[in-house]
Amino acid sequence: MSRRVNPLLRLDLQRWRMRLMLGVLFAGYAALSARAMYLQGWQDEFLQEKGDARINRLLTIPAYRGMITDRRGEPLAISTPVESVWFNPRESEATPEQVAALAGLLDLDLAALNKLFKDKSKSFVYLRRQLPPDVAAAALALGIKGLYTKPEYRRYYPSGEVVAHVLGLTSVEDKGVEGAELVYQKLLAGEPGLKRVAKDRRGNVVEVLESVKLPRAGQDLALSLNLQIQYLAYRELAAAVQQNKARAGAVVVLDAKTGEILALANLPSYNPNNRSTMSNERARNRAATDAFEPGSTMKPFLVASALEAGVVRPETRIDTGAGYLTVGDKTIKDVHPKGNLTVAEALQVSSNVAMAKIVLEMRSEDYWRTLNRAGFGAPPYSGLPGESSGRLRPYDSWRPIEKATMAFGHGISVSLLQLAHAYTVFANDGWMPPLTIAKRREAVVGQRILAERTAREVRSMLELVTQDGGTAPLARVIGYRVAGKTGTAHKLIGGSYSPDKYLSSFVGMAPASDPRLIIAVMVDEPSVGVYYGGQIAAPVFSRIMAGSLRLMAVPPDAPMEASTGPNATAPVVAEGV
């Protein structure tokens, strides 16, 4: 039989193929073995990195936010540890009873929660943020697969609505969004830390491997506020707003010597611990952000400017005639004719006609310069967000009637904070300290605005305003000499003056012999039939000033007799508006 047809030859060919395949398999195995030896012997770091990438994670350690205190160390804002509850829908498993229990525990809508558990398109969903730790622990105790907690901090404000507009508040991410919390965010926030942990395939932390970076706590911040004076100011403002059925109100209390804000209160307010009470209307820091026409509280600046320019002296007499003055096609009026007045008397009874006559004798540039140097038309730079610059138009654009009305606070707009700050010029014999909401720790360097003699003369005139025959006998304080000025202005609404809506204000200082405090009060739209600043705002000033001077132990500069206190029986001197 030929070899070509012998079956054994074909069998030999199959054995060859088998040997070839076995050789290939052994070669592949040898290559894999060599690769494994190479990776494990010389490239073990590569494998370690791949393993770590699957089980090791870096977790953020939240930093403790710095505490905010008043000037005496009383806590105004503190951080407390809380927990946020979240879950991974892709790995979550829960019985209907567990979901119902979780909804009840976290105060969530059951139908919405069921929908979240069924939606497997996401891997991370917050259920509730900033919960008390015991509530979060109770949620975990339900044993729901895929449910986790995350440690955080929540801001707590012990004084609630009383200091809300100064402090502001933080977001759920613990970042400042209003007030001092926003302005001093970088100082207060600190820096979060990092830790490396090992997680199983379900995302559970099974081991803390190392601390990569320790968290750095934020720095504490001491504000210039005196919490006792702040409570007093808020209480008296709230009583006045309620008593006069007003739309809103604001109070600013300044340390006349240092420019520190000792109190700043607004109504309506909100409770930063309960964000449901917050709205745009309630969250506005009216004292700093709202500009209004100040009315007669601007008259002392006109008188000071006229004295500086040599146009008048305190004893200069001005004939107000029948109580009206025509400028162009407009008429300026006093409520009652006041006849022939000295400059001091004109300021005491708040004569619009007298002030208009004075300003029309002056160069517009001189009056504008005084207002500009006193801070009008520019933010007061106190450290509060959203400060209003007000409105002070260039003097070369003033028409005669505009110049005349600016003498008694129309055609110019200011914030209450600006107004209080400007009055430090009269309290400090012409010097003006910079304003601040942070506690001062070094000497104040102010700026001279007026000559010492001018400031003293105006302050003496302002003291007459609070005496019988002036517009503010209700501003007096037993045992102290008080100087100040009332303001009553029609509200500017939609470009025109409302005939029956007013802003009532008073700005004053005490003790007048050497002023320590300046208090500015504004009540918006009193609606009980009276609206003069001397009737509405002056009594609020008197009560806040009396309590503040006692709290600060400021020595009296007048007899401790009833005759030096508010005089409710003095005739009301009507103020032109």
Q: What pLDDT is stored for residue 125 in this prediction? A: 85
- Which of the residue ranges 11-15, 176-180, 295-299 would you say has the lowest mean pLDDT? 11-15
CATH topology for the 59-90+108-222 domain: Penicillin-binding protein 2a (Domain 2) (3.90.1310)
The residues facing 497 across adjacent strands are 492
Q: Work out the burial of residue 314: count CB atoms within 10 Å of its CB; fewer than 13 is exposed, 13-18 middle, 19 or more buried.
A: middle
For the chain, the C-alpha Rg in angstroms (whole number) is 37
- Residue 112 has a pLDDT of 86
SS3 444: coil
Query: How does pLDDT run across 218-270, given as a tens digit for each residue?
Result: 899 999 999 999 999 999 999 999 999 999 999 999 999 999 999 999 999 99
Would you place residue 18 in the very low, low, confident or very high pLDDT band (cuts 50, 70, 90)? confident
Q: Where in the chain is the domain with CATH 3.90.1310.10?
A: 59-90+108-222
Q: What is the pLDDT of residue 196?
A: 66
DSSP string for 448-466: E-S-HHHHHHHHHHHHHHT
The answer to whether 382 is a known catalytic residue is: no
pLDDT at 117 over 90: no
- Give the residue-averaged pLDDT of 380-399: 94
Report, as an integer, the average pLDDT of 384-400: 94
The type of residue at 242 is Q
The answer on pLDDT for 159 being more than 80 is yes
In this structure, of 59-63, 185-189, 525-529, the range with the lowest mean pLDDT score is 59-63
Tell me the CATH architecture of domain 227-271+284-564.
Answer: 3-Layer(aba) Sandwich (3.40)
User: In this predicted structure, what is the pLDDT of residue 14?
Assistant: 62
Which pLDDT score is estimated for 156?
Answer: 94
Instruction: Lowest mean pLDDT of 12-21, 359-368, 465-474, name the range.
Output: 12-21
Q: Report, as an integer, the average pLDDT of 17-41.
A: 75
pLDDT of residue 122: 81
- Average pLDDT over every residue of 8-14: 53
Question: How confident is the model over 377-381, as a mean pLDDT?
Answer: 95
Place 328 in a pLDDT band, splitting at 50, 70 and 90: confident
- Taking 70 as the threshold, does the pLDDT of residue 52 lie above it? no
Contacts of 225 (CB under 8 A, 6+ apart): 70, 71, 76, 163, 166, 261, 262, 263, 264, 437
Give ranges for CATH 3.40.710.10 in the chain. Answer: 227-271+284-564
Can you give 254-322 as a three-state secondary structure string? EECCCCEEEEEEEECCCCCCCHHHCCHHHHCCHHHHCCECCHHHHHHHHHHHHHHHCCCCCCCEEECCC
Is the pLDDT at 303 greater than 90, yes or no? yes
Dig out the tokens for 548 from the structure. 């503040």
Q: What is the percentage of the chain residues whose pLDDT exceeds 90?
A: 61
Reported as a single tens digit per residue, the pLDDT across 119-131 is 888 878 888 888 8
Q: What is the average pLDDT value for the chain, to the nearest integer?
A: 89
Band of residue 17 on the pLDDT scale cut at 50, 70, 90 = confident
Q: What are the phi and psi torsion angles at 111 (to 5°)?
A: -65, -40
Q: Report pLDDT for 42.
A: 64
Q: Would you state the pLDDT for residue 1? A: 45
More confident residue, 113 or 448: 448
Position 487 pLDDT exceeds 90: yes
pLDDT for 576 beyond 80: no
Higher pLDDT, 521 or 25: 521
Instruction: In whole angstroms, give the CA distance from residue 296 to residue 559.
Output: 29
- What is the average per-residue pLDDT within 358-386? 95
Phi-psi region of 222 (alpha: psi -120 to 50; beta: other; left: phi over 0): beta
| 544 or 51, higher pLDDT | 544
Averaged pLDDT, 282-305: 95
Q: Which of 79, 159, 224, 296 is catalytic?
A: 296
Task: Give me the pLDDT at residue 556, please.
Answer: 96
Residues 474-479 have a mean pLDDT of 97
Mean pLDDT calculated for residue range 98-110: 88
405 vs 295: CA distance, rounded Å: 9
Residue of higher predicted confidence among 556 and 3: 556
pTM of the entire predicted model? 0.85
